[in-house]
Amino acid sequence: MKTELVIDLEAEKQEILKRYRALLRASKSTLQKGDKKEIRKAFDMALESHKDMRRKSGEPYIYHPIAVAQIAAEEIGLGTTSIVCALLHDVVEDTDITLEDIEREFGKKTAKIIDGLTKISGVFDTNSSLQAENFRKMLLTLADDVRVILIKLADRLHNMRTMDFMPRHKQLKIASETIYLYAPLAHRLGLYAIKSELEDLSMKYLDPDTYKFIAKKLNEKKAERALFIKKFVEPIDEIVHEQGLVADVYGRPKSIHSIWNKMKKKNIPFEEVYDLFAIRIILDSAYENEKADCWKAYSIVTDLYRPNPDRLRDWVSSPKGNGYESLHTTVMGPRGQWVEVQIRTQRMNEIAEKGFAAHWKYKESSNDNGLDQWIQKVREMLNNPEANALDFLDDFKMNLFSDEIFIFTPKGALIQLPLGATALDFAFEIHTGVGATCIGAKVNHKLVPISYKLQNGDQVEIITSSKQTPKEDWLNIVVTAKAKSKIKSSLKEEKRKIADNGKEILERKLKSLKITYNTDNLQKLSYFFKLPSTQELFVNVALGKIELKDIKEYLNTEKEVESRAPERPENLSVDGIKNKIKGGDSDILLIGEDMQRIDYTLAACCNPIPGDDVFGFITVSDGIKIHRTNCPNAAQLMANYGYRVVKAKWNKQQELTFLTGLRIVGIDDVGLINNITRVISTDFKVNMRSITVDTNEGIFDGSIMIFVNDTEHLENLIRNLLKVKGVTGVTRFDA
| Residues that are catalytic | 93-94
From residue 383, how far is each of 55, 116, 392, 481 by CA, in Å?
A: 38, 18, 11, 13
Taking alpha carbons only, the member of 137, 43, 26, 51 closest to residue 86 is 43
First vs last C-alpha separation in the chain = 59
Strands 658-667 and 645-650: unpaired
Which DSSP category does 254 fall into? P
Chain-centre distance for alpha carbon 441: 33
In a 13 Å sphere around the CA of 473, the CA atoms on its Cβ side amount to: 2
* Among 501, 496, 559, residue whose Cα is nearest residue 533: 496
Q: Distance between CA 271 and CA 457 in Å, rounded?
A: 38
CB 553 within 8 A of CB 513: no
What's the rounded Cα separation, in Å, for the pair 280 and 341? 6
Distance of CA 661 to the CA centre of its chain: 27
Distance between CA atoms of residues 460 and 427, nearest Å:
9
Tell me 558's DSSP state.
-
Helices (H), ranges, 127-284: 132-140, 146-161, 168-177, 183-188, 192-206, 208-220, 222-242, 256-266
Residue 313 in contact with residue 324, Cβ under 8 Å?
no
- Collapsing DSSP to helix, strand or coil, 621 comes out as coil
Contact by Cβ (8 Å): 504, 517: no
Please give the C-alpha separations between residue 140 and each of 18, 126, 292, 479, in angstroms, as whole numbers: 37, 20, 41, 22
